[in-house]
Amino acid sequence: MLPGEVGIALRGGHTTTTPRDEVPELATTERDAELVDRTAGGAAFDVVRRTELLLDHWGLEPPRPCAAAGSPYAT
């Protein structure tokens, strides 16, 4: 087994034997602007709702501080 650097040197400084630079074409689909707006609004509402639920939960059961070494919050 050879180190990776040796393999690269044997391939003339390339990581692969064949070129891999070709970027594939981006697959897209046309969408109605109104549909995009409604979907984005629904996603934003969901984020706010989930944040509210998290904060409500933390109000009842506050998260414990991380006890990682060197943490100013370690107990």
CB atoms within 10 A of CB 8: 13
Q: With 90 as the cut, is the pLDDT of residue 54 above it?
A: yes
Q: With 70 as the cut, is the pLDDT of residue 71 above it?
A: no
The two three-digit tokens of residue 18, written as one number: 């064949």
CA distance 69 to 75: 10
More confident of the two residues 33 and 71 = 33
Report whether 71 contacts 65 (CB < 8 A). Answer: yes
Domain boundaries, given as residue ranges, for the chain: 33-60
